[in-house]
Structure 1
Amino acid sequence: MGKSTIEARVLEESEYSVWDELVENSVQGTIFHTSDWLGLCSESFKAEPKIFGCFNDKNELMCGCSLFIYKSKGIFKNAISTSVMTPYGGFVLRPSNSTKIRKMEEDYFLCIHSLEKLIRNQKYLSTIITNSPDILDVRPLTWNRWISRVFYTYYLDLNSFDLNNASREIKREITRATKSGISLQSIRNAEIHNTLFQKVFERQNLLPPADITAFNKVIEHINRNKIGDMWIAKNQYDEIIGSQIWLWDTKRAYIWSVASDPDFRNSGVNIFSVYTILQELCSKGFGEVNMMQGNIPNLAEFAAKFNPKLVPYYSVENYSSIIELAMKIRRKF
């Protein structure tokens, strides 16, 4: 793939099926890259999705980058690969045909450089690209003055998951929840989840990042595309005390949104629910779960109890000269 064979441009909506095919076949592609998910976020959180693509001389999409465009003060534009409750976006690449490291890196660098140049030419005030954990190399960007940051998540291998390797607290909480009569069932009801979700944030005096409109769209998306499920937990008095929405693609499942009634937060409902869902997913042939909880101390502590693997993922940032100057002035004072 030579330099003259590359064309980088913004994809038209009519080409989104080609993008989805790339996402499906790419190691880096996740449900959060798909055009359906981008559209859902656009409708729910007022973010304009834009997909940048890199094509070869056969007009085949070799790589791409999904971003959301936000307007600042109605004039200036900022680009970010994530949205509300959307952890990743960014770069997705077609699997390399070569087994030679040098050739693989040449092709990779060429694609990333082409997309980076196209994105820069959009003249955004700021561009923040948080990639999925399978983008391990951000050097084409950091070598071109992008700032990099590292984040973390946990992956759990369901093929080797064993409760005996989990923490004692996990076993104790599961036993307690079972003895107290907590049960779990699959019910897709956005109103139930939203009610519990709102309670979680009200208890912390925080504004919830999503509302019933967003959850309705996610449940509709799940029903239409069979890319997830929702479970509710009830106590012995038939009261709903917990709810979890999980999503998945062909690579793994994701713990997307967890909510429980604050009055029952010490009942073990969340641990019991996650463990029960893991068993169900295992029986359905899923091999891996992204726990989605590695950057906030209490959430990371919860996920680590299941004995998962810590996995880094990388974000890169680029700012216009105006923003860079303002940042330099601010640092001085």
Structure 2
Amino acid sequence: MKAIGFRKSLPIAEMESFIEFETAKPSPSGFDLLVKVGAVSMNPVDFKVRQSAAKDIILDEPKIIGYDAVGTVVSVGEKVGLFKEGDEVYYAGDLTRSGSNAAFQLIDERIVGTKPKSLRRQEAAAIPMTGLTAWEAIFDRMKVDINKAKGKSILILAGAGGVGSIAIQIAKQVAGLTVIASASRDETQDWCKSMGADFVVNHHDLQSEMKRIGHKEVDYILDCVDINGYWEALNDIIKPQGHIVTITGSNAPLNLMLLKNKSVSFSWEFMFTRSMYTTEDIIRQHEILNEIADLVDKGILKSTLKTELKGFSVENFKKAHEMQESGKSIGKTVIMF
């Protein structure tokens, strides 16, 4: 089968930062589905793994990355009970296994959902990883209760990014929160408003901007950009007994003592935790993806697809990674096979 991967972590402009090659088509067993991939979308994890997985070595076999995908089930393992051949599915992948940048991929059915029926493949491919991340952050980490959310507010940093775009929708349309998103450019501010944000603030002067809109404090904060850079500001903005969640890594210890007097809770959100550790509730991701698909088909949530690249080629993967690395991409970028 055709695949695109790399043997060495190189700058994206280098000729062999991605290479096309042929490899054996895998066979499913256990809970695995064999999926014929039809579209994939880019996330920061794609370029971060590409930059680090073979930094000081040259791999004997090219590494296939890729996480978000939409495709068709072509065969199943002996333990599979949720899907059958011919089903259209979407999923966010597994860091510990070969990725979706290939003609066929094996994926555990317990982290796979049924593709939203109302969406084209490219529109559906934009959703899984960011949808799961936002859903888990809001409901699993913050533990927002939709029956008690009226009047409560959330600040979403980097609202125009992939996670921010769907988090705005879930926080507003599903959780019922007042949503404040951060964005600094005219086009990113407009995008946040189109996703449903009640307010948009410029993160370059966060505290002043929050006062300007009459929300000096918020009940919840979701950081999608830089927890270190905003840590002190977030501790001023969060309400007593509030909750801060970040999806970003930290290059230095965080001073959690700043949270003490307000009794503020802090959580990490890492979408791959359930698949990486095969947690007891791993099937919850299957359930969440199906819930999201249902909300999409009802018109409550919408795809965050912004840029579509047509063709399973090295050139398109390089272009998509360049866009992600720029830090200026809006919504999601999808490659159609």
Smaller-chain TM-score range?
under 0.3
- Higher helix proportion: 1
TM-score (norm 1): 0.26
Larger Rg: 1
Q: TM-score, normalised by structure 2?
A: 0.26
